[in-house]
Chains A and B, each alone.
Chain A
Amino acid sequence: MLEGFLNAITYQSVAAEIGGVIIGIIFGAIPGLTATLGIALFVPVTFLMSPEHGMIMLGGIYSGGIFGGSISAILINIPGTPASIVTSWEGHAMARAGKAPFALALAAVSSGIGGILAAIAVLFLTPILSSFALSFGSPEYCALLIFSFTIVIVMLETPLASNLFGCFVGLLIVTIGIDPVIGTPRFTFGVVELYSGFNLVAVLIGFFCMSQAVVLALNSLKPDKGGEIIFDGKRPYGELLRVVPTRIFTYLRSAVTGVFLGILPALGPVETPFISYALEKRFNKRNEKFGKGSISGLIASETSISANVGGSLIPLISLGIPGSGAAAVFIGALTLHGLQPGPMLFANQPTLIYSFFWGFLILNIFMLFFGVFAARYCAFVLKIPKFVLATFVAVFSILGTFAIQNNMFDVFVMLGATAFALWFQALRISLLPVVMAVILGPLFEQQIAVLNTSYSSVGEVLQRPVAVVFLAVSVLMLGFRLVRGTSRRGMPEQTEV
């Protein structure tokens, strides 16, 4: 752990932390660009770095991107990312009351504190979960993967049947390539490039970046509805020092909520602030007017979002299970560096993982100070025209995909994935189950093959208590969703952040 900390404070790591956070904030602040898009576009850049520095930079982009969304939410009442919707309710109300600098600084502090608390949770919970997962055999792994698929399928707003369908289509797509059982090419149609399957990062860039370029292009053709930037107000430091220490319970409540929801797949930074905000309204005893510039409301939203980002790293690193689109891109980045997320990663590369965790903590501290003193200067990005964004997201998506393996075939895979993403959205099928299936499908097939050869009957599998618990919870969740019919009312539709 100490070695990891020392690695996280080298000048290369600090550069990755600072660079990642600034890039992330800029991406997040621009409405239409998401944190996931930022991470996916910068995955090829991590080739120039060691894996730990690359991961730290991507972590910075993720955290910074999520916080950056609150800049436009507060200043122009347009959430930079869907995660900042709640922030826009309270933050923009503060800005209209002449307290824009205070709202921005409070959002930065809350985001930073949420991230720091989550990083501490990550540092201590991930090793425990990893060492527990080391005892997993194929029955436990299969059950865990079924549990992960189920939780995504059940939690999403879209109809259960279409979520299930998307998941199975994703699983079918990733059977293209070398068969893990007998090692021969399968469904490749004689195309040599398909022998190793689809490049995961190319597919994710298609899903999250190029499709966004098309949407940005369309938005650029419509009249700009961008609001007026409200920037006025006095320096916020005195008020900040007065307010923050009095809201300790709000911070703790929101951070715990964020981390817990982050650990669960499918409940990402978009849904978390709504739940945290509702909890804050329920437990807050300050008689604040929520929706009209409530300090506690803003803190609850920003703290929980950042804590959720950290929380999603726990299953990602310890079990190899992504909880969101951004986490999925993280897995793609790790595999590109030859690392397989899961319990063995912690066992084989503890220094790398601890470097990343410490880096994540430090970058959150940096984000806090940067947000307080400099976030308002990032508002210039709100002026960048959408047609410029659309064009450069398109060109970077293509060049970034090509740079992964210097291979034009990957570019065509990425373009195909873009068409697929838009097509499935038009069919009202959520992409998250597809993404989960594309990432976890090969591991699932591999574990099923091992299970087939190692266990002769279902009875033997049912003697493994951990597997039984995962399967039972999955069945219960599916049953509950079927009985309850459609889903969580009042929650936002699942969108990428």
Chain B
Amino acid sequence: MFVFRLVSFLLIAAFALVLGEQAMGISGMASTYPLTLVTVVLAGTLYMIATAVAQRREPTVLTGDVSHLVAATGPERLRLFAFVILWVAYPWLLGLLGFIVTTTLAIAVSLYMLGQKRILLALACAAAFSVVFAVLFMTVFYVPVPAGVLDDWLTSFIFRLQS
């Protein structure tokens, strides 16, 4: 935990330094506010690092939700990691496969990974959700979600129904 805290604060310091370097390029009074903040954050980082070093031998007490996340082990941690990867990948996959296919797959895989053992049920629920929301996005919310082959077919089908 000490190493994690140390690396984290060094990363924040690096971020502040990068912004500080850029703030130097801002002309006149406009640079005062960001430079002041950069200085305070750098000083704060040093203080936090010093505190972390001073407390490195003390047992770390985490409370709340993060304590559960940190305490996750073995298969739990692996499945949680897969859950995170899945939903980080989802926005990228949307552009490749379109809304209906990506959302159906993502929901089904997520449900299956976290506990729904009947994959066909998971797929059916996910597909129903995706189609309903695809229709809602097209006809009610007017949200242009990325379209794939199925989405295009659904759009033209709805268009034919309306005309």
A residues neighboring B (CB under 8 Å): 47-48, 161-162, 164-165, 168-169, 171-172, 175, 179, 181-182, 184, 186-187, 210-215, 217-222, 385-388, 390-392, 394-395, 398-399, 402-403, 406, 408, 411-412, 415, 422-423, 425-428, 445, 448-449, 452, 493, 495
Which residue of the partner chain, among A212, A215, A402, contacts B145 with CB atoms under 8 Å? A402
CA separation between A385 and B111, bound complex, in Å?
10
Nearest B-chain residue to A415, judged by Cβ: B88
Q: How many Å from the CB of A105 to the closest CB on chain B?
A: 32
Contact present for B44 and A215 (CB under 8 Å): no
Contact present for A426 and B70 (CB under 8 Å): yes
CA separation between A220 and B111, bound complex, in Å?
10
B162 close to A (CB within 8 Å): no
Contact present for A168 and B91 (CB under 8 Å): no
The A contact surface, by secondary structure, is: helix
Contact present for B34 and A398 (CB under 8 Å): no
Contact present for A402 and B80 (CB under 8 Å): no
B111 / chain A contacts, CB cutoff of 8 Å: 387-388, 391
Most A CB atoms within 10 A — which of B48, B84, B129, B144? B84
Contact present for B69 and A172 (CB under 8 Å): no
Contact present for B37 and A179 (CB under 8 Å): no
Contact present for B110 and A390 (CB under 8 Å): yes
Nearest B-chain residue to A389, judged by Cβ: B114
Contact present for B44 and A168 (CB under 8 Å): yes
Contact present for A172 and B41 (CB under 8 Å): yes
Which residue of the partner chain, among B4, B26, B33, B114, contacts A220 with CB atoms under 8 Å? B114
CA separation between A395 and B145, bound complex, in Å?
13
Contact present for B19 and A387 (CB under 8 Å): no
CA separation between A187 and B23, bound complex, in Å?
8
Question: How many residues in B have their beta carbons less than 8 Å from beta carbons of A?
Answer: 62
Contact present for B64 and A398 (CB under 8 Å): no
Nearest A-chain residue to B82, judged by Cβ: A217
Q: How many Å from the CB of A53 to the closest CB on chain B?
A: 16
Nearest A-chain residue to B143, judged by Cβ: A403
Contact present for A408 and B48 (CB under 8 Å): no
Nearest B-chain residue to A224, judged by Cβ: B115
Contact present for B69 and A215 (CB under 8 Å): yes
Most B CB atoms within 10 A — which of A161, A181, A211, A452? A181
B88 / chain A contacts, CB cutoff of 8 Å: 415
Contact present for A221 and B80 (CB under 8 Å): yes
Given contacts A172-B19, A388-B111, A395-B90, list 9 more A-B pairs with CB under 8 A: A168-B41, A218-B69, A221-B72, A222-B68, A399-B143, A402-B91, A408-B146, A422-B69, A423-B8
Contact present for A213 and B44 (CB under 8 Å): no
Contact present for A391 and B8 (CB under 8 Å): no
Instruction: Compute the total of residue contacts between A and B using a CB distance below 8 Å.
Output: 158
CA separation between A448 and B30, bound complex, in Å?
11
A47 / chain B contacts, CB cutoff of 8 Å: 141
Nearest A-chain residue to B9, judged by Cβ: A427
Contact present for B48 and A181 (CB under 8 Å): no
Contact present for A428 and B62 (CB under 8 Å): yes
A395 and B103 contact, Cβ closer than 8 Å, known pairs A182-B30, A221-B115: yes
A218 and B140 contact, Cβ closer than 8 Å, known pairs A394-B87, A398-B90, A411-B91: no
B48 / chain A contacts, CB cutoff of 8 Å: 161-162, 165
What is the 8 Å Cβ interface bit string for chain B, positions 80-113, against chain A (1 contact, 0 not)?
1001100110110011000000010011001100
A406 and B144 contact, Cβ closer than 8 Å, known pairs A172-B38, A422-B69: yes
B12 close to A (CB within 8 Å): yes
Q: Which of B5-63 contact A (CB under 8 A)?
A: 5, 8-9, 12, 16, 19, 22-23, 26-30, 32-34, 37-38, 40-41, 44-45, 47-48, 51, 62-63
CA separation between A161 and B40, bound complex, in Å?
12
B66 close to A (CB within 8 Å): yes
CA separation between A210 and B144, bound complex, in Å?
22
Q: Which of B110-163 contact A (CB under 8 A)?
A: 110-111, 114-116, 129, 133, 140-141, 143-146
A452 and B80 contact, Cβ closer than 8 Å, known pairs A391-B114, A426-B66: no
A428 / chain B contacts, CB cutoff of 8 Å: 62
A426 and B62 contact, Cβ closer than 8 Å, known pairs A161-B48, A175-B37, A406-B144: yes
Q: List the 4 closest pairs (A to B, CB-CB), nearest first.
A: A387-B114, A387-B115, A181-B30, A425-B66
A408 / chain B contacts, CB cutoff of 8 Å: 91, 94-95, 146
Contact present for A452 and B40 (CB under 8 Å): no
Query: What are 20 contact pairs spanning A and B, CB under 8 A?
Result: A161-B48, A161-B51, A164-B44, A165-B41, A172-B34, A172-B37, A182-B30, A184-B26, A187-B19, A215-B69, A218-B69, A221-B79, A221-B80, A221-B114, A385-B115, A395-B110, A415-B91, A422-B66, A425-B64, A449-B29
Contact present for A221 and B76 (CB under 8 Å): yes
Contact present for B80 and A214 (CB under 8 Å): yes
Nearest B-chain residue to A164, judged by Cβ: B44
B95 / chain A contacts, CB cutoff of 8 Å: 408
B22 / chain A contacts, CB cutoff of 8 Å: 186-187
A212 / chain B contacts, CB cutoff of 8 Å: 65
Most B CB atoms within 10 A — which of A164, A211, A221? A221
Most B CB atoms within 10 A — which of A186, A422, A493? A186
Which residue of the partner chain, among B30, B33, B66, B106, contacts A395 with CB atoms under 8 Å? B106
Most B CB atoms within 10 A — which of A186, A217, A408? A217
Nearest A-chain residue to B68, judged by Cβ: A218
Most A CB atoms within 10 A — which of B27, B32, B115, B129? B115
Q: How many Å from the CB of B113 to the closest CB on chain A?
A: 8
CA separation between A136 and B78, bound complex, in Å?
54
